[in-house]
Amino acid sequence: MPDMKINRERQICFALFTAPGLALYALFFIFPVIMGFYYGMTDWNGITRRYHFIGLRNFFAVFQDKRFGRAILFNLRYCVLLTACIAVLGIVIALLLNRKIRGITFFRAAHFLPAVLSGLTVGLIFNQILYRALPPAGQALGIGWLSNNLLSSPRTAMTGILFVHVWQGVSMPTLLFLAGLQAVPEELLEAAAIDGAGPFRRFRQVTFPFLLPVLSVVMVLTVKSGLMVFDYVKALTDGGPGGSTESISLLIYSNAFVENKYSYAIAEAVLAGVLIALISAVQISITNKKMA
């Protein structure tokens, strides 16, 4: 009996500590999701008080919207390229920053500096660089591909956005990879070197297995960043030229706050959220199988 009373009091104590967090989570996440799904089944424009219930008409319209499909394809291509670039560059830069050389602390701090800036600020700065600085430099040096603004052509606009995103986005993954490298036992590396293993083989057989948990986290965060990219696209191209760089987030923003199709934008957001959740679940499942 005393043990049961203690357990009951402990459960009550745990419930009281959990209740505020659960209430805030329900208020700021669960309730908005439910209300968002409800408003997605109306014709509300986001301004007027009157609206009508139209069922799943908005959701069916989204499936037939070519603009939404084009935004999905852009995000998928962008996400694949972003994940590959950040994963490879993050590991390479982490290997360089893990060396014991003079002044390495300065280089680590300098590399992490872009991470403290906002994406919108970085996008606006690079917009001016790509528009005003690089084309004159390319013309002066006789470099053809550099003589024109990368953001002005549908063929190269995504490359320009990707470059800016990678420049800033690789800082945090590099820090995570660096922490993973410092967790690799020196004894294993020395034993592999004594056995005649070269640098590449030591990395593949000894170092890389220790980086797999970090790589899993980095890939999840990068895929999420690629699928939800907004600030870089908004600051650099605003979806242009000709809608070639319009992402899902920017499309939802445009429909809601520019075209006043608020309920339609909510339907797009719900479907995009389901798609992102499915992709993340598949990615985590594949990564966990490889780590097992």
Model pLDDT, residue 158: 94
Model pLDDT, residue 1: 55
Given pLDDT bands bounded at 50, 70 and 90, which one contains residue 16?
A: confident
Given pLDDT bands bounded at 50, 70 and 90, which one contains residue 3?
A: low
CA atoms 117, 123, 124, 126: torsion sign: positive
Mean pLDDT of the chain: 88
Q: Which two tokens stand for residue 134?
A: 């690089």
Query: Which of the residue ranges 59-68, 70-79, 213-222 would you say has the lowest mean pLDDT?
Result: 213-222
Model pLDDT, residue 234: 94
Q: Is residue 30 part of a domain?
A: no
Q: Is residue 2 part of a domain?
A: no
Given pLDDT bands bounded at 50, 70 and 90, which one contains residue 238?
A: very high
Query: CA 139 to CA 137: how far, in whole Å?
Result: 5
Model pLDDT, residue 289: 67
Q: Is residue 246 part of a domain?
A: yes
Query: CA 261 to CA 46: how far, in whole Å?
Result: 7
Domain that holds residue 149: 66-291
Q: Is residue 24 part of a domain?
A: no
Q: Which two tokens stand for residue 239?
A: 């979806």
Model pLDDT, residue 2: 62
Q: Is residue 111 part of a domain?
A: yes
Q: What is the pLDDT of residues 85-139, one digit of tens each?
A: 999 999 999 999 988 888 888 888 888 888 888 888 999 999 999 888 888 888 8
Count of domains observed in the chain: 1
CA atoms 54, 58, 60, 65: torsion sign: positive
Cβ neighbours of residue 43 under 8 Å, at least 6 residues apart? 51, 52, 54, 263
Query: CA 25 to CA 27: how far, in whole Å?
Result: 5
Model pLDDT, residue 171: 92
Q: Is residue 84 part of a domain?
A: yes
Q: Is residue 109 part of a domain?
A: yes
CATH number for position 196: 1.10.3720.10
pLDDT above 70 coverage of the chain, percent: 96
Given pLDDT bands bounded at 50, 70 and 90, which one contains residue 291?
A: low
CA distances from 6 to 3, 14, 18, 47, 113 (A): 5, 12, 18, 54, 51
Q: Is residue 228 part of a domain?
A: yes
